[in-house]
Amino acid sequence: MLLNIKNLTVAIEGKEIIKGLNLQVNKGEVHAIMGPNGTGKSTLAAAITGREGYEVTEGEIWYKDQNIVELEPDERANLGIFLSFQYPVEIPGVSMTNFMRTAINAQREYNGLPPMPAGEFLKLMEEKKKLVDIHSKLTNRSVNEGFSGGEKKKNEIFQMALLQPTLAILDETDSGLDIDALRTVAKGVNELRSNENAFVVITHYQRLLEYIVPDFVHVMYDGKIVKSGSKNLALELEDKGYEWLKEQSLV
């Protein structure tokens, strides 16, 4: 099993947001996590990636046979966990090229490899740019600075393609995307799917799941997964809304 979350409780500034959550993800699988606003979907992503301020008060997060709860965020990243941010951050003055080269070499250093030669890196960039339809100009600009909403999201998938994570979490990657950008992003993700990696796709809407077809759909409500099922569950949600689940979870 790649990811095994056991009875996870997460608090922000003392307030419990996730309340005893369980989730298992195997290699080769795509899991969708759905649910209304404020149920803890993004908090789950933050807890897995180790963001400061998201305190795991109970439970364990097992990834590749180790409990990663105590690991620093950069170490988790170097172990192959990637987060596609809902709100990608701007870093003025740092070019995308420089940023990604630093990231790739950090990963290589962690794995005991020498830095990637410049030529090889540039070739890799060119190759991955095509995957998400990114303009050459974009990689010369500062990280996310002046990028449109769609460009930012494409840029996240571009970074994912370069870093080749084992576990990728896409946090609301579809929000703010028009249909063309959505297709491009989905195409990128689908091309990266393999038997050696897994995806956790966090989304509000069923729409994204038409393009990135999940193996499992989980519904979160009030800090817990209240229902799991196949991709049909997403359709059912689209149809009925979330209200019926609320009633169910109260029972």
Partner residues linked to 67 by β-bridges: 62
Tokens of 133: 């339809």
Judged by CB, which is closer to another protein: 81, or 209? 81
Closest CB 53 distance from another protein, rounded Å: 5
Judged by CB, which is closer to another protein: 171, or 174? 171
Closest CB 79 distance from another protein, rounded Å: 9
Judged by CB, which is closer to another protein: 20, or 73? 73
* Rounded Cα distance, 189 and 184, in Å: 9
Judged by CB, which is closer to another protein: 71, or 235? 71
Q: Calculate the alpha carbon distances from 216 to 139, 147, 202, 229, 250 in Å.
A: 35, 33, 12, 6, 23
> Count of CB atoms within 10 A of residue 112's CB?
6
- Helix, strand, or coil (residue 30): strand
Judged by CB, which is closer to another protein: 26, or 142? 142
Q: Calculate the alpha carbon distances from 7 to 10, 54, 224 in Å.
A: 10, 16, 9
Task: Return residues touching another protein (CB under 8 A).
Answer: 13, 49-53, 72-74, 77-78, 82-83, 85, 88-94, 98-100, 102-103, 106-107, 110, 142, 159, 163
Judged by CB, which is closer to another protein: 13, or 243? 13
> Count of CB atoms within 10 A of residue 156's CB?
24
- What phi-psi label fits residue 139: left (phi over 0), alpha (psi between -120 and 50 degrees) or beta? alpha
Closest CB 43 distance from another protein, rounded Å: 13
Q: Which of 203, 192, 133 is nearest to 167 (CA)?
A: 192
Tokens of 89: 């951050």
Closest CB 203 distance from another protein, rounded Å: 19
Closest CB 233 distance from another protein, rounded Å: 29
Closest CB 147 distance from another protein, rounded Å: 13
- Residues 167 and 1: beta-carbon distance below 8 Å: no
